[in-house]
Structure 1
């Protein structure tokens, strides 16, 4: 996503339900392949992938509206498109971080310009060794998990799948799901109140680094931290 594209619009569960309802509408009368929502997601994917500006994307939406048959449901303003997508719970927060991973510049450190632990500047240093004030050295892209967890329970099908592990029985005695593991049973024994409620989410945390530019000479790397829901069936 582009900077600040969806980060400033909150998550409203009622708005989410309305968007899902609107998203089921055909893109235009007689269309069976695309809905308004699926079309918008594909177009916004192109915007993010190719670095398209908001102005360019707006012009693309206007052109699409003109090309499509009358009665089409595609929004033709960038604000409407962002508002529709933000209701899906895709908002994020950008948090400034110390280049050496000591701290996050938030709460007590929100206005600091140097790391209190290692002393390194918050700003990026140019090739001339001059700090570029305002250009961040490191940024954490934080995708709040709670709105996304709430969204999972808003779907009858997904909500039922989230409690699938409590009703299933291992037929052959072999471990075919994390619910069969000793770790799962250990959590139930250690926190019985948590274990009694099958809707409580069991999450796995995974992280690893990669170079998004596929260049060994590049010093730039990404470290995504991924949460996986173990409640769901395989």
Structure 2
């Protein structure tokens, strides 16, 4: 079972599940609960009584992965599945024997997805009010024009554009929750969920939080109270001793840089205070279109903030003491 998530990812990346069938994925609202429970139980059954390796679910995922990996046609898949059915007539009757029914089987279990087009310049998603547009509402680029500039670059600060559907789901999970099946006791309960923090390297910290990790104010904890200085063509961050106790001997030592250190450590800012800082700024729109290239230096920069992070749309985000973690491998 350990390889199933990787197989599912490759199936999704292939685009096999992109063609939406008429039936919508089964939700877990009242009238659908019993149907889902039965489907979930069927998915865990052996494909035939003596089989110890495959459940119905793992068999379906395995066969779809083989189809994608070997570039089988849809007709080839159906033919191979029919051969299996003829060889093992005692197979469980719940097995979906055609590609159509195999994809419907995964969607009904909640393993489908919705395809959302994005502007090639990372300006906007073609969803909700933009779902039927033929051009990007920001840069006017055609929706179906391919990006011929080589491989796509990382979205950078524009990551918020792609986080929009996730943030909407997270808000719903926090405010309303979702009915969920507990396989351990066979009960249905309403599950609520929250994001505790992000985990990322330092450059990605800047993209996620909106605080630039470059320049004299690079330290997000120091905020406006940084201890940086120019060292020829580099910037040095000299304030480590500020975090020592006020009476520590090393504060009075001049061995480090010929100076004593009498500055206190920076004050911790609450999420509300940080959000107040952010809301004081005006930021360029998302996207990498030609009219939105690197702007000239702002005469009145808002500290090191480059945007209002979309995660602040979560009602609890500003109340968290720790919002972003650095991956210790870096």
Question: Which band: TM-score by shorter chain?
Answer: 0.5 to 0.7
Q: Of residues 188, 193, 203 in structure 2, which corresponds to 1:201?
A: 193
Q: Is the 8 A contact 1:6 1:82 kept in 2?
A: no
Larger radius of gyration: 2
Q: Is the 8 A contact 2:120 2:146 kept in 1?
A: no
Unaligned runs of 5+ in 2: 1-11, 149-161, 205-330
Paired residue for 2:18?
Answer: 4
Paired residue for 1:72?
Answer: 91
Q: CA deviation at 1:65?
A: 1.0
Q: CA deviation at 1:201?
A: 1.4
Q: Is the 8 A contact 1:75 1:81 kept in 2?
A: yes
Change (3 A) 1:122 1:158: farther
Q: CA deviation at 1:158?
A: 9.4
Q: Is the 8 A contact 2:126 2:132 kept in 1?
A: yes
Deviation larger for 2-11 or 76-85: 2-11
Q: CA deviation at 1:35?
A: 2.0
Q: Of residues 114, 135, 142 in structure 2, which corresponds to 1:114?
A: 135
Matches within 5 A, 1:130-141: none
Per-residue CA distance 1:45-75 (angstroms, 9 max, x = gap): 222334433222111211111222x210233
Counterpart Cα distance in 2 of 1:106 and 1:25: 38
Counterpart Cα distance in 1 of 2:146 and 2:47: 48
Q: Is the 8 A contact 2:96 2:105 kept in 1?
A: no
Counterpart Cα distance in 2 of 1:49 and 1:158: 37
Change (3 A) 1:6 1:123: closer
4+ aligned runs moved over 6 Å, structure 1: 146-149
3-state SS in 1 of match to 2:62: helix
Q: Is the 8 A contact 1:102 1:115 kept in 2?
A: yes
3-state SS in 2 of match to 1:93: coil
Change (3 A) 1:42 1:119: same
3-state SS in 2 of match to 1:154: strand
Q: Is the 8 A contact 1:26 1:35 kept in 2?
A: yes
Q: CA RMSD in A?
A: 3.9
Q: CA deviation at 1:89?
A: 0.3
Matches within 5 A, 1:140-219: 150=178, 153-157=180-184, 200-203=192-195, 204=197
TM-score by length of 2: 0.39
Change (3 A) 1:3 1:112: same
3-state SS in 1 of match to 2:115: strand
3-state SS in 1 of match to 2:145: strand
Between the two proteins, the alignment pairs up a number of residues equal to 158
Paired residue for 1:37?
Answer: 57
Q: Is the 8 A contact 2:136 2:142 kept in 1?
A: yes
